[in-house]
């Protein structure tokens, strides 16, 4: 397809981004070209936008930001077999080699040669995006694309919560950003006995309540260790879903996790976190599980099943919808914490269609 398209570009190695224009991407024989219908802002995008230390060491401007999206396939490569023009797709954003030992033994989500859409390649804050056929996840038609766009981060929440036994367990979700509030909803949907949400932002604590949290704790106002031990008869929680990356929160979680408990860690600290490994890990006999993205493609099928079950409340997760021209407002919302998922629409026509 020939022509130009509107994009949000990380133009320079500094904070911010710009609305720009570039050529519609060309596709290879195993790629598909997708017309973006909706794309959502991720915490990773917020890091890149603010140009923090992680971004400075990883991102190479200029390039197009964004990776969570849904859209319609408008062109396919000559060798594409499983996807057709007109399909509505989302994307598994980890582009892997598919040939190494990890990829061929069910661990493609941690392939050492992974490139990430919208981080290492041009992304989805655009009218069109090119992705490999193997990364296209086919969706049912007739569903609001905003809900389809958030399946990728929802997959992170599902992978974190369901990386071990969860039915009948007490769960602490630490950090209720967009993926954290999703984790609250997932834990409730898969029959956790009690879900405790821990977050410093009152807006997001309220979202956690709406999504089913049984207990909410603001650690700026009360001691989370004492409160959680009180809520669990002095035993601590069975499962910690660590979404914050905050050093203090991580250390506290190791104090209120139950003996023999499980800690699933998705949050990324910005610096090294000193731990009391002997007393808080070894002698407590806990399991710590690092969560990288989604299992390819086991987690996607779990997400699909949860959505189709009707047990998962998605309505409260998407709090703001904006035309792509207002991307700066979206990033300001993310920085304030007063939002859940923020969805951008590449064209006014799409925004008007899904915001009547």
Q: How far apart are alpha carbons 123 and 117 in whole angstroms? A: 6
CA distance 93 to 95: 6
Centre a 10 Å sphere on the Cβ of residue 249 and count the other Cβ atoms it contains. Answer: 24
Per the residue annotation, which of 47, 94, 109, 159 is the catalytic one?
47
Helix (H) or strand (E) holding 204, with range, is helix 202-210
Helical (H) or strand (E) element with 215? strand 215-217
159 given a catalytic annotation:
no
Sequence-distant (6+) residues with CB within 8 A of 239 are: 161, 164, 166, 169, 170, 171, 172, 192, 261, 262, 263, 264
What gap in Å lies between CA 266 and CA 287, rounded to an integer?
A: 14
User: Rg for the chain (alpha carbons), in Å?
Assistant: 20
CB atoms within 10 A of CB 287: 14
Which residues are the active-site residues? 44, 47
């Amino acid at each position: 397809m020939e022509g130009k398209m509107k994009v949000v570009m990380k133009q320079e190695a500094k904070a911010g981004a710009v609305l720009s224009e570039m050529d519609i991407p060309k596709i290879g024989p195993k790629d598909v070209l997708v017309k973006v219908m909706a794309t959502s802002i991720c915490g990773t995008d917020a890091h890149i936008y603010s140009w923090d230390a992680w971004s400075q060491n990883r991102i190479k401007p200029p390039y197009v930001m964004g990776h969570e999206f849904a859209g319609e396939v408008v062109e396919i490569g000559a060798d594409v077999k499983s996807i057709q023009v007109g399909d509505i797709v989302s994307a598994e954003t980890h582009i892997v080699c598919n040939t190494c030992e990890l990829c061929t033994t069910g661990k493609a989500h941690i392939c050492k040669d992974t490139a990430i859409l919208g981080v290492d390649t041009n992304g989805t804050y655009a009218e069109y995006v090119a992705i490999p056929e193997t990364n296209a996840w086919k969706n049912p038609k007739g569903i609001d694309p905003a809900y389809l766009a958030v399946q990728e981060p929802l997959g992170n929440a599902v992978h974190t919560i369901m990386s071990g036994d969860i039915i009948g367990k007490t769960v602490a979700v630490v950090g209720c950003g967009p993926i954290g509030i999703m984790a609250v909803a997932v834990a409730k949907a898969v029959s956790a006995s009690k879900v405790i949400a821990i977050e410093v932002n009152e807006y997001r604590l309220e979202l956690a309540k709406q999504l089913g949290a049984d207990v909410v704790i603001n650690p700026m106002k009360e001691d989370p260790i004492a409160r959680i031990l009180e809520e669990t008869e002095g035993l601590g929680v069975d499962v910690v879903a660590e979404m914050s990356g905050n050093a203090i929160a991580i250390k506290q979680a190791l104090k209120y996790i139950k003996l023999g408990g499980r800690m699933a860690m998705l949050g990324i600290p910005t610096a090294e976190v000193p731990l009391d490994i002997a007393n808080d890990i070894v002698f407590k006999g806990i399991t710590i599980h690092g969560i990288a993205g989604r299992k390819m493609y086991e987690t996607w099928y779990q997400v699909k099943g949860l959505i189709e079950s009707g047990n998962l409340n998605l309505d409260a997760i998407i709090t703001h919808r904006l035309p792509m021209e207002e991307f700066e407002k979206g990033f300001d919302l993310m920085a304030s914490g007063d939002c859940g998922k923020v969805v951008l629409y590449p064209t006014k026509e799409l925004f008007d269609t899904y915001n009547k």
